[in-house]
């Protein structure tokens, strides 16, 4: 089903957005990276003899910036910086392990074949995002692969801005962008960047994490319908 803020009770009949370009979150949206991320967290914490949170809490750290996650566990200063570095060195060995969610790769290829401009906007480091998209055979599908920088100030919103700036430089129509994501971090980043966000039901969202999304698509098929409707609407609006 598809739920929108404007029509929360009518899952089927939704108010479609006008869409000129689609940004995709990666972890929890394209790939099921929770196991690799949680393992890297466990390794970084146990290296310093620190307590390891339970699985439920660790899962909430799949997607947010690392500085936030380790800070949320109560660490700061030099230890916080060391934990982030320790996480990155462990994750480096396993970031290509995660499998894509069923149907997502096919959807991305279909959108590309239909001429829809696409970009990633991920909180993982940009070189890893690039390597992962190559590994999944998706580097030709995306016009731009944008990811985080090592700077603690790098956020979902800064990555969205970078993706849109680079898309515009390539001549892409960025007048009606949307981001597709699975967590409250995608919702907050989109709000901060001033663009609509479509939540997906197969990722790692907490109970109410997608409450403020402009729409929520439970399945890949729902997302396909919603995006293609929005792209068609933009084409009609542009040509009228």
CA atoms within 13 A on the CB side of 187: 17
Residue 56 and residue 58: Cα distance in Å, rounded? 6
Query: Of 25, 32, 186, 214, which residue is the catalytic one?
Result: 25
| Residue 27: active-site member | yes
Report the SS3 class of residue 26: coil
Query: What is the C-alpha to C-alpha distance for residues 114 and 202, in angstroms, rounded to an integer?
Result: 24
Cβ-based burial of 68 (10 A; exposed 0-12, middle 13-18, buried ≥19): middle
Catalytic residue flag (residue 25): yes
Partners of 70 in the beta sheet?
Answer: none
DSSP assignment of 110-146 equals HHHHTT-EEEEEEEEEHHHHHHHHHHTT-TTT-SEEE
Among 27, 32, 143, 182, which one carries the catalytic annotation?
Answer: 27
- DSSP state letters, 143-192: SEEEEE-SSTT--HHHHHHHHHHHHHHTT---SSEEEEESSHHHHHHHHH
Catalytic positions are 25, 27
């Amino acid at each position: 089903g598809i739920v929108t803020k404007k029509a929360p009770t009518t899952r089927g009949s939704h108010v479609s957005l006008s869409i000129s370009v689609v940004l995709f979150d990666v972890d929890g949206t394209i790939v099921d990276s929770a196991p690799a991320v949680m393992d890297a967290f466990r390794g970084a914490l146990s290296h310093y003899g620190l307590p390891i949170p339970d699985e439920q809490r660790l899962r909430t750290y799949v997607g947010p910036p690392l500085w936030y996650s380790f800070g949320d566990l109560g660490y700061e200063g030099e230890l916080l910086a060391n934990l982030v570095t320790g996480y990155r060195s462990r994750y480096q060995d396993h970031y290509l392990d995660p499998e894509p969610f069923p149907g997502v790769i096919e959807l991305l290829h279909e959108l590309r074949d239909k001429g829809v401009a696409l970009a990633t906007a991920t909180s993982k480091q940009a070189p890893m995002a690039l390597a992962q998209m190559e590994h999944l055979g998706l580097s030709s599908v995306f016009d731009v692969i944008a990811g985080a920088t090592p700077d603690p100030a790098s956020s979902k919103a800064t990555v969205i801005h970078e993706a849109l700036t680079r898309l515009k430089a390539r001549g892409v129509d960025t007048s009606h962008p949307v981001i597709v994501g699975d967590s409250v971090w995608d919702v907050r980043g989109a709000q901060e960047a001033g663009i609509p966000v479509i939540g997906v039901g197969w990722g790692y969202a907490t109970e109410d994490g997608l409450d403020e999304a402009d729409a929520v698509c439970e399945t890949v098929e729902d997302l396909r319908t919603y995006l293609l409707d929005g792209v068609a609407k933009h084409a009609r609006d542009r040509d009228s």
